[in-house]
Structures are given as structure tokens and as C-alpha cells.
Amino acid sequence: MSNVCCNSTQKQEFLSLNRFAKKPNLVRGKGRSLVSRLRGLFVSDSEGGALVEMAVTLPIAMAVMTGIFSFSIVLYQKLQLCEAVSNAGHLLATDRGDTDPCGSATAAIYAAAPGLTQSKLTLAYTLNGTNYGSGVTTCPGPSGATNANMVANGTAEVQASYTCVLGVYGTNYSSCSVATQITENVQ
């Protein structure tokens, strides 16, 4: 089989007439306008597209997940507080002969909620209609006797609130307060 073109000039003419022939690659930056060079920097090939998408979406996804974790910590604190106050209410309902039933209930709350900071916890007790005030952790009877308000079929109420902080990565955005209460009949 013989060669169609004999010399290089004829070969160039043949290639210029053939519209399907591969065109020579232009050297980057030469023979192109400034706009086409900038477009080439940002819209070249699809290589690295997944990396760019990941770089854009990862911080957003991490921020959403961190927010979910922050709220779940507050919900966990609320559940811990509810369980601890429930235990204290049950203790008060059956602790009629104690000289300081509020002190026993406070100790039960602290023991049942080890994940809560005691200084952020505010307690209030109401025994048979007598309120002992907010922030009080004891309610002893007179002169070491049993508390007169702990009578059979009376009520014992425990109210608790806990100051929590919503924060992300060490930055506190707002403070919140979770609260719960329970009322029990004294046995």
C-alpha cells in the first residue's frame, strides 16, 4: 500500500481539509484569550469535582451534626434530671420518719444524676402545702425531731431546674434551663 501524501506540505493540506483530524494541542496560555484561560482554570475537566463537592458540603454537614449533638446533650441532661427527681419523689413518699427528708431527697438527686453539675441545680420542696423555698436542700424537723409536715396521705412535691448551656466547639450560643417536678402522696 502506498502512502497517499508524498511530502509534508501535501500532508498538511490533507489534514487541514479533513475536519475529523486531530488538531494539535495548544500550549496553555498561548493563542487563547484571557477569558478562555480563566475559564480553563475553573471549568477544565471533571477531574477533582468530587473533591470540590466534598469541600463545600463537609463543613455544612459537620455544623448540622454538631448542632444535633449539642441539643442531644441538653435532652440527656433533661432526662437525667427527670429520673433523679422521680427517685427523690419516691423516696419522700416513703420517708415519713426521717428527721430531714429534704436532705435525703437531695442526696438521692445528686446520686441519681452524676452527669449534672450540682452548682447549676436548683431544688425546691413543698411538704403538705408548706413551701421550703427555692435553693433549699434541707427541711429538718424542730430540735432533731421528724418533720411535722410528713404526714400520711399528705403531699410531697419536688421541683428542680438545671441551667444548661448550648455550645458548639467551645462557643456558647445561649443558656437554657430545663425543669421538672413531681408530686407524691406520703405513705
- Under DSSP, the state recorded for 17 is H
Q: What is the pLDDT of residues 60-77, one digit of tens each?
A: 999 899 889 988 999 999
Predicted confidence band of residue 22 (pLDDT cuts 50, 70, 90): low
Residue 96 has pLDDT above 70, yes or no: yes
Whether 157 and 146 have beta carbons less than 8 Å apart is answered as no
Q: What is the pLDDT of residue 127?
A: 93
Q: What is the mean pLDDT of residues 17-28?
A: 53
Q: How many CB atoms lie within 10 A of CB 177?
A: 10
Q: What is the pLDDT of residue 134?
A: 92
111 CB-near residues (< 8 Å, 6+ apart): none
Predicted confidence band of residue 161 (pLDDT cuts 50, 70, 90): very high
